[in-house]
Amino acid sequence: MKRASLVGVWITQGPADWQIVQRRLDNTADLVLTGTWLAPGDRLGTVEIRLVDESRQCPAAKHLDWTNADSNSNRTWRHVIENIPAGGLYRLETRLRLAGDPWPLAGDQIHHLGVGDLWIIAGDDNAVGFGRGAVDDQPELGVHLFRLNERWTLASHPIHDSTGIRKDRFFSPSSTGHSPWLSFARLIRRGTGIPIGLIPAANEGSSLDAWHNRKRGGESPALANLLSLVHLASSFSDFANFSLHDGAISKIKKPVQPPGAVAGCVWHQGYADCRYEGMARNYRMAFREFAARLRTALEAPRLPLIICQLNRVIGVGKIGESNLWGVTREAQRAAGYDIDFTAVIPTLDAGLSDGLHNSSAGNMLVGERAAQAALGLVYGKNLTWRFPDFKSAWFEKGKRNQIALEFEHVSGELRPVAGEITSFTVTDTAGGAPIRKIVLTGKKRILIQLNRELKEKPVISFCSSHNPALAFVDDNNCPPLAFANVAIMEDE
């Protein structure tokens, strides 16, 4: 039997079960619905709608209790539920009230709705998630996921699940696993009290060129896919294919919150760009242009970006590639200064499942730091959200064989992880300069003593190889961001 032949209220367009609707700046959102109704015989009916708080089983607010929809004589209706407060989870209920009958007829319901923030997941393999190993990272109500089959659901691993994927071009041929993003979203939800929706748009093995190709022009495939997923995730579903053909559907008004609005984007990418010198050295400019294109496409000039600095790997294709990992990491670190409303997090201490991918435990660390950065940068929480970073380097007291370094955003003080401090390299026009000794001289300062004086164009790098040793951390057990080829000043 077709639904259209049954009495009651039917929704033909509206939000889907589990959907997270992006809140506006006033901390509310609207829901736009259309549908049909049918009463026994030719009796007159009134379509009523309300929004229920699922945790309390009562109206979410006084103005969200039973309200009459705008229904037509051709048995269609439309309604806009306005000013829904951020939060949830909510249940949307409909019913049909018949004239002179105290008992209403049943209508469609939509379950587990949230008004909160949408976050995009973009990048390559470690954004997809290939973690292995046991960790406690369970699903949680209020952390939802727009899966690759283009349906909203409760978020659970693997986040990048290709089951039922609608775009085979972005099918992940490898068996995916654990990723940082469930932990990331859960920590934001707990820190803000609002539901979080994830939109996974990462592309396994993708270079930055796949996201932003200046040579070809136009939209790059990965970026086009991201924009498509964001639009679908933030749009309302069309249920009209459920044989609802009683009369013409009333025209739906454009929602107050346009599809495409999101709270931010997390980015974890860079392996493919380390294979070729041109790509690595162009990364800084290309990423800046990609960020600008993403923000323009989403009509969000200050879209927050949380960038995961490229992690370490065990082995690379060619020995000569190793220094290009440092070049790429430096470009990502520089994004924190080049691009406003951006945070960069370190990942060099994340454990690995194999030679390339972060382990489950490593992903939990990355997710925690990404959430920490988001809570500080985007949500204004009073916590430490910037991570240790290079500030300046200069020759100590005019001696060109002694370099002083200062770091910023250090929690407490820096301390060696174990024994001798390593992972620094110093070069000039004559080549590499052997390091004799490295010592901590203050809470945020390091002194590097060389075996020779430096000549022209001296620069210093930290953790610039593909698999650097973890040298030191701050009191939050967090290492500094890697940097490469920064200039050494003549004095402080």
Q: Encode pLDDT of 290-303 as tens digits.
A: 999 999 988 899 99
Q: What is the pTM of this model?
A: 0.91
For residue 222, the 8-state DSSP code is: H
Residues of the chain with pLDDT under 70: 1-5, 73, 166-174, 213-219, 238-260, 316-321, 491-492
pLDDT for the residue numbered 212: 83
C-alpha distance across the termini of the chain, in Å: 82
pLDDT for the residue numbered 251: 43
| Rounded CA separation 255/23 (Å) | 12
Listed by start position, the domains of the chain span 3-111, 115-238+249-377, 389-487
What CATH fold (topology level) applies to the domain 3-111?
A: Immunoglobulin-like (2.60.40)
pLDDT for the residue numbered 483: 94
- Mark residue 181 as left, alpha or beta (left: phi above 0; alpha: psi -120 to 50; beta: remaining): alpha
pLDDT for the residue numbered 5: 67
Instruction: Tell me if domain 3-111 and domain 115-238+249-377 are identical in fold.
Output: no
Q: Encode pLDDT of 302-361 as tens digits.
A: 999 999 999 988 876 565 567 889 999 999 999 999 999 999 999 999 999 888 889 999
Phi, psi torsion values for 203, nearest 5 degrees:
-130, 115
Q: Specify the amino acid at residue 331.
A: A
Q: Which distant-in-sequence residues (6+ apart) come within 8 Å of 22 by Cβ?
A: 29, 116, 117, 118, 197, 234, 257, 261, 262, 263
Q: Which distant-in-sequence residues (6+ apart) come within 8 Å of 457 by Cβ?
A: 428, 429, 487
Q: How many helical (H) and strand (E) elements, i.e. helices and strands, does the chain have?
A: 8, 27
- CATH architecture group of domain 115-238+249-377: 3-Layer(aba) Sandwich (3.40)
- CATH architecture group of domain 389-487: Sandwich (2.60)
